[in-house]
Amino acid sequence: MPERKSDYGPARLPGAVRTAAVLVGALSAVLATAGPGVALPAPAPATAAAAAAQCGDVVTANLVLTADLVCQGTGLTIGADNVTVDLAGHTVSGAPAVQIPDRRGTTLVNGTLTGSQSLIAAGSQLISPIPLTVSGVRLGAQTKLTNASAVLGQGSGGCTVNGIRAQDSWVTLDGCEARDQLYLRQSTGTVRASKLTSGSLRLEQSSRGRYENNVFDDFTVLLYDMSRENVFTGNVLKNAESAFYTAMPQSPNVTNTIQDNDIRNNDIGFEADDVTGFTIKGNRFTSNRTAGVLVDNGIRRANSEWISGNVFTGNGLRPSGVKDRDGNPVAGGVHVRTVPESRINLSGNVGRFNGGYLIWAPAGQVVDGGGNKGPCGPVPNPDLTCL
């Protein structure tokens, strides 16, 4: 980026260049006054307090910020491995606020990063992902991660996130508050003990993630494009159009697992559109306006879909007019529309006070595993018995 004219003065030079200019000036003064044979004093060792950080500085040693930085371009660039930047309660604003170009072991703590982007961390594709730790930091704008292994929050340290875009990365949110979109592509996510509000978690070709003990409030989980073996457990998912929405087929016999969650007050709790590869078990679906689970599937493919051991209470009481692709209105606990080659396995589901059936599934579209308790339809259906 070209220098601005206002940056030409010594007070505006990057820290490393500015420090060098001061040393050269001091040395010239000593040489001018020293006589022949006079020993020059050894220069004092540089310290972190030698100069306050400025916009555009390249940080090569641990740094404690002493003031806010409001920058038009990059705020700080990490220029060495194993550097800790303590924001000390201050804010860095820039485009981005902090940039980490293939540096390993960076730690950012105690402050705010904001601007057009909070943080860009990009590791080389030729080596393992660069490790990065962020704790006690508010990321006020989008964070971009490429080939990074980023841990944000670490429990008591916490963090606030306003959007993450990750590619080829490992991303952990621990005890964070998140808004906007968390977009993981060809990445693995771990999100635990966090609150996610007014946005979405979008997974594309992202597998083996674990999402547990979070609150998703108006924060839809989107599972797309060969995202496999992700586990969602112990979460509360509420106040969304669809708490889960998944589309596009997965590999045979490889599933995403939705287990032991509290899924309530959405329009639809779990919605699958032309999908194979999911297990829904042990969840509580409560007061979802249109349906607890909607499967609308036209894929002819062997699969391992299981809906088992769930409790459906008060779903379908205020349906929004959704219909499946055959024109059947959707309302109640579980609504299945699929093809004989991709039957859904149903067992041990129970429900009461739902606005429609506990399970609605035409003949030839389900496998009855037994133990389903609640009204089922349409009748007669020799493939499904509900006690």
Q: What is the distance between the alpha carbons of residues 214 and 48, in angstroms, rounded to a whole number? A: 40
More confident residue, 10 or 386: 386
Query: In sequence order, what DSSP letters do the residues of 65-77 get, joined into one string?
Result: --S-EE-SS--EE
Neighbours of 385 (CB within 10 A): 11
Flag whether pLDDT at 10 surpasses 70. no
Q: What is the distance between the alpha carbons of residues 185 and 40, in angstroms, rounded to a whole number? A: 59
Average pLDDT estimate for 363-380: 92
Q: What is the distance between the alpha carbons of residues 194 and 364, in angstroms, rounded to a whole number? A: 41
How does pLDDT run across 161-205, given as a tens digit for each residue?
Answer: 999 999 999 999 999 999 999 999 999 999 999 999 999 999 999
How far from the centroid of its chain's Cα atoms is residue 90's Cα?
Answer: 25
Average pLDDT estimate for 117-128: 91
Among the listed ranges 13-27, 293-307, 341-355, which one has the minimum average pLDDT value? 13-27
Query: In sequence order, what DSSP letters do the residues of 81-147 get, joined into one string?
Result: SS-EEE-TT-EEEETTSEEEES-SSEEEEEEEEEES-SEEEE--TTSPPEEEEEEEEEE-S-EEEES
> In the prediction, which pLDDT does 383 show?
87
Burial of 315 (0-12, 13-18, 19+ CB in 10 A): buried
More confident residue, 358 or 16: 358
Ranked by mean pLDDT, which of 10-24, 36-50, 238-252 comes out on top?
238-252
Flag whether pLDDT at 39 surpasses 80. no
> In the prediction, which pLDDT does 248 show?
72
281: Cβ–Cβ under 8 A, 6 or more apart, which residues?
Answer: 257, 258, 259, 260, 306, 307, 308, 309, 310
> In the prediction, which pLDDT does 305 show?
81
Amino acid, res. 345 = N
Average pLDDT, the chain: 86
Provide the whole-model pTM: 0.85
Report which DSSP code applies to 208: S
Q: What is the distance between the alpha carbons of residues 176 and 158, in angstroms, rounded to a whole number? A: 5
Interior/surface letters 49-85, b for 16+ CB within 10 angstroms, e for the rest: eeeebbbbbbbeeebebeeebebbbbbbbbbeeebeb
Which tokens belong to 44?
Answer: 């004092």
Cβ distance 232 to 255 under 8 Å? Answer: no
Strand partners, 195: 177, 215
How does pLDDT run across 58-74, given as a tens digit for each residue?
Answer: 999 999 999 999 999 99
Question: pLDDT tier at 85 (50, 70, 90 boundaries)?
Answer: very high
Flag whether pLDDT at 387 surpasses 70. yes
Ranked by mean pLDDT, which of 103-112, 119-128, 148-157 comes out on top?
103-112
Amino acid, res. 113 = L
The H-or-E segment that residue 160 falls in is strand 159-167
Among the listed ranges 106-110, 242-246, 270-274, 275-279, which one has the minimum average pLDDT value? 275-279
Residues in the chain, how many? Answer: 387
Which tokens belong to 254?
Answer: 């490889």
Among the listed ranges 109-123, 287-301, 344-358, which one has the minimum average pLDDT value? 287-301
Flag whether pLDDT at 20 surpasses 50. no
Is the C-alpha dihedral spanning 166, 86, 213, 285 positive or negative?
negative
Average pLDDT estimate for 325-338: 96
Neighbours of 223 (CB within 10 A): 26
> In the prediction, which pLDDT does 156 show?
57
Q: What is the distance between the alpha carbons of residues 131 and 121, in angstroms, rounded to a whole number? A: 10
Flag whether pLDDT at 246 surpasses 60. yes
Which tokens belong to 4?
Answer: 């601005």
